[in-house]
Structure 1
Amino acid sequence: MSGDHFHVHGPHDHAVEHAGHGGDDFASQIAVMTAILATVGALFSYQGGATQNDAMLHKNQAAILKTEAANQWAYYQSKGNKQNMAELGAVLTSDEHRNKFEDDVARYKAEKEEIKKKAEALEEKVKAEDELSEASMHVHHRWAQAMTAIQIAISLAAITLLTRKKWLKYGAWGTAAFGAALAALAIAHI
């Protein structure tokens, strides 16, 4: 400006002019803290979703195996019905046809044993898949709890920035540390 003109700076001009000089360290720290917490929260959220998917896959596998086991038990029951009919036939027929019915009874008994073993093995697999599903859901809940703690920490960081209360910043870090502890429990499957 030349010496003949008078120029008045507005508050915005003054802020822009001095933005690079000194800055607000407190606000910068909270901004970095929030960015770190948001990144950690995204990782926790991903892990929570992954473990929930694992739980659903195991539960789905358990349902499929349960259907297969039910089919085997129905097959077992049908063989039992045939065995009963063969036993009845052995009682009601003459000696010359009785051997055929008795052979059928023995065959159906043997077939039933094999079918029973298959059905029981499938039921054991169902139990194992259900247990894996429950374990995955437990880990999922830990990740969800960790994510909730991180979200609370981010909220505390925002309140810290608005109120400029340093003790709130420590509260945010404490809540974030609690979230990290919950994440460690999830990693350890506890």
Structure 2
Amino acid sequence: MNDTLTPHDLSDLPLEEVSGDALAADPLAVESLDGSDEDPRVAVLTAERDEYRDRFMRALADAENARKRAEKDRREAENYGGSKLARDLLPVYDALTRAIEAADRSVAPELVEGVELTLRELQNVFGRHGIKVIAPAVGDRFDPLQHEAMFEAPVPGTRAGDIIQVMANGFMLHDRLLRAAQVGVSSLPASN
């Protein structure tokens, strides 16, 4: 037998034919002398297989997470992508509402009806795109998540935190606040 075997050559020989010097050159062959009957190549392949399985499972999890993130981003873009345009249309809604409130129906009933139809169509468009009006009423409780306090004033017959005036309606885009309703709030302490 040749005394100058390489580790590659050791893999082809039965374990009984490998000399001590050759075993020292191949750490895998040395590991097999610990008394186990397992071929060192099997242990190496098993470890390699486990590493590849782990890498595969991580790559699969990363791909699934990326898919979920992309789906979430797509839904958010669909639901909230037009929020800038929606914010820009809110003053149009306010102007149409003020025009109807200030109009004298006896002078130009057709004009008032046309403005009402335009406002109704704008409300329909808002509804189709998930925009809801926040319309607080005088006497409602102030909600800092939906209302913006423009001023506080003591008003007899009210409790602190009651809405005493509504200056502008607010708007929600699905579950996000587009614009808070602008209100005046009572500052009187609660009566005993």
Flag whether TM exceeds 0.5 (same fold). no
Under TM normalisation by the shorter chain, which class is it? 0.3 to 0.5
> Normalising by structure 1, what TM-score?
0.39
Q: Report the structure, 1 or 2, having the larger helix content.
A: 1
Larger Rg computed on CA atoms: 2
> Per chain length, whose mean CA-contact separation is higher, i.e. which structure has more relative contact order (CA < 8 Å, sep 6+)?
1
TM-score between the two structures when normalised by the length of structure 2: 0.38
